[in-house]
Structure formats: structure tokens, C-alpha cells
Structure 1
Amino acid sequence: MPAINASRQHGLLDLPALRKRAKRLLKALNNNEADEARARLRAMGLPGPDYRLADTQWLVARESGFASWPKLIAHADAVAFAARHPDFAATGEATVQHWRCGNDIERSLRVAGFSGAFQMFDDPMVMGPVPALPDDDYWATRAAFARQAFGLSARDIQQRQAIQREALARLSPDSELVLWCEADAYDQLFLVRLLASLPTVARRLELIEINRVPGIERFIGIGQLAPDLLAWLWPQRRALGENALALARQVWVAYTAADPGRWADLASQHHSVLPLLGPALARQLQELPGAEDGLSLTERLTLRILAEKGEMEAGKVFGHLMLSYEPLPYLGDRMFGALLRPLIDSLQPLLHEAPGGGWAQRVVRITALGERVLRGELNWLDLGPAERWVGGVQIVADRSPWVVSGAGRVWRR
């Protein structure tokens, strides 16, 4: 079982281990053991009592996230073939800039045999003010937020921003770009930001964009994939054109606006050129205060975890959020730690934090006030929460802030 569980995290299937598991299951069934497996086989329409190896292989395939054993084998073969025959030279990969919203795949790209340049753009635009401002003012605003939220030094922020600003300034019609993205708001906003920065369609502009990988139980991000899976993804890239740039410019203007109305409109639409964008915008829209309780969706889910499971270390709360509760995971651990602070540090806190250790090791619990807000008996906006931003929308509790319904409709409170 450990090999199966591991493969469902990084996507690289261990076929020998899976074959052995199917044989062990068959032997156990023939010895009138493995009652749980027998029940699952019956639920699959195989009542028994006699079973064949093909039956237990089917069960193992279903456990691994595939509809059948042949489909599991076909996927494993495709990944292995791509790893053995990456065809990087034939596709001109060496001249490409690989753009990503973090450095989580740079090493794996090199291990897999990629040789193009790597460019990271890691500004977390899902958090803090992202207002429509002149360029220098915009970056200064983002720098101030990074210092406050993450405790980064001014020098560190300046160095990071200088690299990113220079990389954006170098984008031109002669650029050769391949963008690696997932379905969540962190990645989709990176995609929008980059595309909106292009003066025109680059000579080579391609996108690798995924929201699931066969065989992975809970796909969170490209960074969790084994290097061979990156080689398998490479042939799946697709070219982008002027329509993608035009959409990105619309979305960037909408996301940085003080009024989220246009953002909400775009979030409710399907965009065939960037099909994962609408759901990501809709999920990010839920970071505005909820109309019923004044909480962002992340805040609401955090309170729900603690109400249902009891007090625990903050790092474990983050684990539950990412693995079970969050519908479209987008947060890093430090980002989550920063989002906890207003719930803890408020004059009327919704969470209590025990002292000691780093933030992830500190035990947190929901307060009685937090339970009332979670139940909808009180609205967080009536309890004086700190000012915060979502995109270009400033949220000040006593200034008729924008709120959002579960269905994505926005209005001033």
C-alpha cells in the first residue's frame, strides 16, 4: 500500500507494486479473507464468489484513480515513453523561457532533461492590495504588503521585484515563452498578469495548463509531480493567440478595479481560450466578505475545520484545508499563516493562539465568538475586523464594503 499511496501524490505509478497488490488480493479472496476488498468488488458489480486476476486488477486500478486496468497501463506507458523520448530538441525547448508562479518545478524540469531558461514570478496576487496604479506605485504597494504580511526585508523584496520587473520588461514580440499553470487563482492570476503584460503575441507563446492528473488522489499543483510527469506534460502544451491576450487585459483591469462588478461578470462566464480562468476568478471572488457572515471563504473554512475537529496546531489546520476542505487549493503555508493573523489579533478574535514555536506549531482553537460568526448569528463585519484587500477592492468594515453571495453576486453592504 505505501507505494500506491505515494504514487497518488506524485503521479508516477509503481506498476510492479500494483501488480503484486492485485495478486495478493486475489490470493486473500481465494482464502476467504479480504472482506473489504470483496465488498468493493460487489459494489463494482462483481458478486463472486470466484474471482480472477483481472477482477482484482480492476479493483487496484479503481483504487489508483483509473476506470480500468488497461487505462492505468496505458497512462503508465505514456508517461514512461515521454520520459524516454522527450523530443525536447525537435521542439526547440532549449530556446524557451519557462515561466512559473514559483520555483517548485525548476529542479524537476532539469532532472527531466529540460534545458531552457527558467523564470519565476511569485507575487501572490491572491492576497493583499492589487490596485490599478502606475507601475512604480503598484510595485511599492506590493512591497509594503509583503513586508507586513510575510516579514520580508526591504532588501529581499527589492531584489525579488527587480528580477521580476526586468523579466516583464524584456518581454517582446521575439520572446519564446512556455507558461506552466494550474487551475487555482494563484496560477490563473499569474497567467493573466503575464499575458496582459505582453505588448503583442510573442513569436512563441504556449501554455501547459492542467487541473488534474490521472492517478493522483488530490491534485494540488504541478510542483507535486515527479519529473517524468513534466516530460509527459510537455507535448500537451498549446499555442495562445491575441484572443488570450485580449481576455487577460480585460481580467486584469477587472481584478484591479475598486468595484468588483466586472470581475464578477467575468467569473460567471466560460472562456474557451482560457477554460480554467472562470472558475478560478469565481473562487477568488469568494475571498470578499460573505454576505451572511462577513468571512472570506478561507476564513470560513478555517473556522469550520476547528469547530469540527477541535483545537490543533496551525500547520495541521493548513493540511486539512488543502487536502479536504478547500475546493480549489491556492495557498502556500506562509500565506495561510498570514491570513490567520487578523482572526487571532483582532480586538474581538475569532481564533485563540497558544504561545510558543513557529506559527505552524502553535495550537489554535475557535473562540465562542468565532463559533457564533460561523453559525451566522453574528457578522464579522460588525465586530471591527482589520482593513483588508482582495484584488483592487478595499474592505473597510464601516464603509459599506462589498460583499458576495455564495452564487457570486456582489453588492455594497
Structure 2
Amino acid sequence: MLHITCGDFAAEELRRAGMADEVLPWRDVLHEGPVPSDVTGRELREIRADFIASCGWGDYEEVLGSLDERDRLVERSAADGAVLWFEADLFDQLQMLEVVSLLRGLGVAPGSILAFRGAGFSGLDSEGLLKALEPLDAATMRAADEAWRAFTSPDPSGLERFVAEGVEGLPYVAEAVGRLLEEYPGVGDGLSRLERVMLEAASSGPVSGAALFKAVSRQEERPFFGDWSCWLMASRLMSGPAPLLAGDEGNFPDRMVRLTKAGERTLSGGSDWMRTGGRGRWIGGVRLDQAQDWRYDRNAATLARLDGRGARQ
């Protein structure tokens, strides 16, 4: 059976523990960039490769080739089932939903997919890892596929169902989707949770990119982003006609970043980042712009949609 996991480090850990010979790392940061529902597998891989290359995380042709080979391997191995090794954080849970949706579309029989049900691999030996594997039944596979479709939909309101109900048999989906919703722009200031924490980290004075990454990571119960994702967000906050952060030249780990006057206003609720420069970001199938102004209401923990005047629809 093909073993699929969240990244190269986990893949190497599984090999070292003697758990699997053939391990496929799922190399995609799905909480960043477009993941639209209205495209075929090849078109989606092209979109993802283009986004990853635009971030400077790889060469387009090499990334696309890797994604093509990844999906070909899944298709070749699907008949034998699969073992899914994904932890509880948002990064892993989105990958797992995509994999289950893909396997279900390939007609993989319920019961032939084993999924890791623990929160994380740390501290578990091979016996502990094996005990945490359980087969996915038809209802779980169907619900995971529905959750993936809700993530890739241009209307994200369907995601709220999975925060409330979760996916039976996959214990961390509800928590992960709830965390995803917090990355939508907030009502009032237009800031996602991560953006707000990033501005707060720079509010006491200039901070290095490395220190910024550590500061935002400490605020997460289950960190789901790497330093590259953190610095991508910082770069967005440093762009537009009224940037919220400013910084020195150089590589991000050593680059000093500070809060601007516009950042101070936004952090205090006196300005709306989605109105002044934060548009154009994607979350799954939603491109956040004036026509698709989806917001997260932190008090109600729900999504809301605003019209062109900023009123709820």
C-alpha cells in the first residue's frame, strides 16, 4: 500500500521507523493561494504550480512535474488502498481532505484507506503509530470529500457545517476548519488572525523576520505554517498604497520590520485592510476582493459577506 504523508520530514521518519518503503510526501501549502473547484486535476496542478513559483518557492516546470508525478503515483497505486499519515494542524488536515477526495474519485473502496487518528507523531514508536491507524468507512470518505468541496467552493459558507459537525472518524477536521475561517478578513479591520498577530508583534518596535516568525508561531496551539508562509504574509502587509508594515532590504530572517502609521490605524480598528490594500488573496476557492468580501466575525465565530458599501448581505 502507498503511504501518503504531510511532508518530507514525516516521510523520512516513517522510513526510519520501518513503517513503509514507498512514502509519498504531499508537497502543497493548500491554505495559501488559489484552490478553485471549477478546474480539472491537470488545470488545478498548473494553478498550484504557478502560485508556488510566484512565491519563489520553486521553479514552475519542476513544481508542476512533481505534482503530475505525485498524482500519477496515486492513480497507479489506488487499487491497493493507501495509508494516510497526517497530523492535526490545518496544513495537514487540508492535505488529508484533498487526498481522501482524490482517492474517493478514483473509486478506492471504503475500508482500504487507513488514516492516522492521532494529533501528532511525536513520541510514538512504530507500535504506537500502528495503533493509531483506523480504516475509513464510506460515510467518512463522503464527508471528507464534501469538506474538501466546501473548501474549494467560491462560497465558503458551507465550511461552517464542518466546524459544527466535523467529520465523524476524522477527529481534527472541525478544529482545523475553524482555524481556517479565522484567516478570513475580520469584520471591521479586514485583518486575518495571523495578520493581526503579526502587526501586534511589530507594534512595540522593529523586529527581525526571524523573531516575527517565532512570535506568530507562539500564538498557535497547532502551528500550521512555515517561515516562508509567514514571510509571504509579511510581504503582503508591506505592499499596496498604504502598507501596514515596512522593512529594510535583505533576506527576511535578518530583515527588520516595523509597524507603519497605517498599520497602527488598522490595528486599532480605525482602518479596514480589505479596503486599503488587502484584496486579491485567495483562501481555497474564494478570491477575496470587493465582489467577494467574505469576513470573519470574531465575536460570533461565523462568516459574513459584505456588500460594496461594507454592509452585511
For normalisation by structure 2, the TM-score amounts to 0.89
Counterpart of 2:309?
A: none
Counterpart of 2:63?
A: 157
- Indicate conservation of the 8 Å contact 2:83/2:114, yes or no: yes
Judged with a 3 Å threshold, the aligned counterparts in structure 2 of structure 1 residues 395 and 305 are, in CA distance, closer, same or farther, namely same
Counterpart of 1:60?
A: none
- Provide the rounded CA distance (Å) in 1 between the counterparts of 2:20 and 2:26: 19
- Match among 207, 223, 226 for residue 329 of structure 1: 223
Any idea what SS the aligned residue of 1:412 has?
Answer: strand
Judged with a 3 Å threshold, the aligned counterparts in structure 2 of structure 1 residues 292 and 231 are, in CA distance, closer, same or farther, namely farther
Which moved further from structure 2: 199-208 or 359-368?
Answer: 199-208
- Match among 369, 384, 393 for residue 277 of structure 2: 384
Any idea what SS the aligned residue of 1:403 has?
Answer: strand
Q: Does 1:403 align with 2:299?
A: no
Q: Which runs of 4+ in 1 moved over 4 A?
A: none
Identity of aligned residues (%): 27
- Indicate conservation of the 8 Å contact 1:255/1:392, yes or no: yes
Any idea what SS the aligned residue of 1:360 has?
Answer: coil
* Offset of residue 390 of structure 1: 0.5
- Provide the rounded CA distance (Å) in 1 between the counterparts of 2:61 and 2:169: 39
Q: Does 1:292 align with 2:188?
A: yes
Task: Name the aligned partner's letter for residue 325 of structure 1.
Answer: Q
Judged with a 3 Å threshold, the aligned counterparts in structure 2 of structure 1 residues 400 and 179 are, in CA distance, closer, same or farther, namely closer
Counterpart of 1:123?
A: 28
* Offset of residue 230 of structure 1: 5.0
* Offset of residue 102 of structure 1: 0.8
- Indicate conservation of the 8 Å contact 2:110/2:138, yes or no: no
Gap regions ≥5 residues in structure 1: 1-95, 212-220
- Provide the rounded CA distance (Å) in 2 between the counterparts of 1:289 and 1:352: 20
Any idea what SS the aligned residue of 1:359 has?
Answer: coil
- Indicate conservation of the 8 Å contact 1:128/1:388, yes or no: yes
* Offset of residue 361 of structure 1: 1.5
* Offset of residue 267 of structure 1: 2.0
Task: Name the aligned partner's letter for residue 104 of structure 1.
Answer: F
* Offset of residue 151 of structure 1: 4.4
- Indicate conservation of the 8 Å contact 1:195/1:244, yes or no: no
Counterpart of 1:15?
A: none
Any idea what SS the aligned residue of 1:404 has?
Answer: strand
Judged with a 3 Å threshold, the aligned counterparts in structure 2 of structure 1 residues 208 and 371 are, in CA distance, closer, same or farther, namely same
Judged with a 3 Å threshold, the aligned counterparts in structure 2 of structure 1 residues 256 and 283 are, in CA distance, closer, same or farther, namely same
- Indicate conservation of the 8 Å contact 2:100/2:144, yes or no: yes
Q: Does 1:207 align with 2:99?
A: no
- Provide the rounded CA distance (Å) in 2 between the counterparts of 1:102 and 1:135: 21
- Indicate conservation of the 8 Å contact 2:111/2:137, yes or no: no
Counterpart of 2:310?
A: none
- Provide the rounded CA distance (Å) in 1 between the counterparts of 2:174 and 2:40: 27
Counterpart of 1:314?
A: 209
- Provide the rounded CA distance (Å) in 1 between the counterparts of 2:101 and 2:12: 28
For normalisation by structure 1, the TM-score amounts to 0.69
- Indicate conservation of the 8 Å contact 2:189/2:272, yes or no: yes
Task: Give CA-to-partner distance per residue, 1:78-131, whole Å, 9 cap, x none.
Answer: xxxxxxxxxxxxxxxxxx322112111222223323343111111111111110
Counterpart of 1:374?
A: 267
- Provide the rounded CA distance (Å) in 1 between the counterparts of 2:98 and 2:254: 34
Judged with a 3 Å threshold, the aligned counterparts in structure 2 of structure 1 residues 365 and 259 are, in CA distance, closer, same or farther, namely same
- Provide the rounded CA distance (Å) in 2 between the counterparts of 1:346 and 1:327: 31
- Provide the rounded CA distance (Å) in 2 between the counterparts of 1:404 and 1:376: 15
Counterpart of 1:361?
A: 254
- Indicate conservation of the 8 Å contact 1:342/1:386, yes or no: no
Task: Name the aligned partner's letter for residue 313 of structure 1.
Answer: S
* Offset of residue 152 of structure 1: 1.9
Judged with a 3 Å threshold, the aligned counterparts in structure 2 of structure 1 residues 230 and 350 are, in CA distance, closer, same or farther, namely farther
- Provide the rounded CA distance (Å) in 2 between the counterparts of 1:234 and 1:332: 28
Matches within 5 A, 1:102-251: 102-132=7-37, 133-172=39-78, 174-198=79-103, 199-201=107-109, 204-211=112-119, 222=121, 225=122, 229-251=125-147
Task: Name the aligned partner's letter for residue 74 of structure 2.
Answer: L
Judged with a 3 Å threshold, the aligned counterparts in structure 2 of structure 1 residues 311 and 209 are, in CA distance, closer, same or farther, namely farther
- Provide the rounded CA distance (Å) in 2 between the counterparts of 1:238 and 1:281: 22
Counterpart of 1:69?
A: none
Counterpart of 2:170?
A: 274
Q: How many residue pairs were aligned?
A: 301
- Indicate conservation of the 8 Å contact 1:112/1:231, yes or no: no
* Offset of residue 169 of structure 1: 2.0
- Indicate conservation of the 8 Å contact 1:200/1:242, yes or no: no
- Provide the rounded CA distance (Å) in 1 between the counterparts of 2:125 and 2:270: 48
* Offset of residue 194 of structure 1: 0.8
- Provide the rounded CA distance (Å) in 2 between the counterparts of 1:302 and 1:380: 14
Counterpart of 1:9?
A: none
Task: Name the aligned partner's letter for residue 53 of structure 2.
Answer: R
- Provide the rounded CA distance (Å) in 2 between the counterparts of 1:318 and 1:230: 32
Task: Name the aligned partner's letter for residue 199 of structure 2.
Answer: L
* Offset of residue 275 of structure 1: 1.6
* Offset of residue 159 of structure 1: 2.2
* Offset of residue 316 of structure 1: 1.5
Task: Give CA-to-partner distance per residue, 1:208-243, whole Å, 9 cap, x none.
Answer: 1322xxxxxxxxx64xx36x6455322221121111
Aligned CA-pair RMSD:
1.9
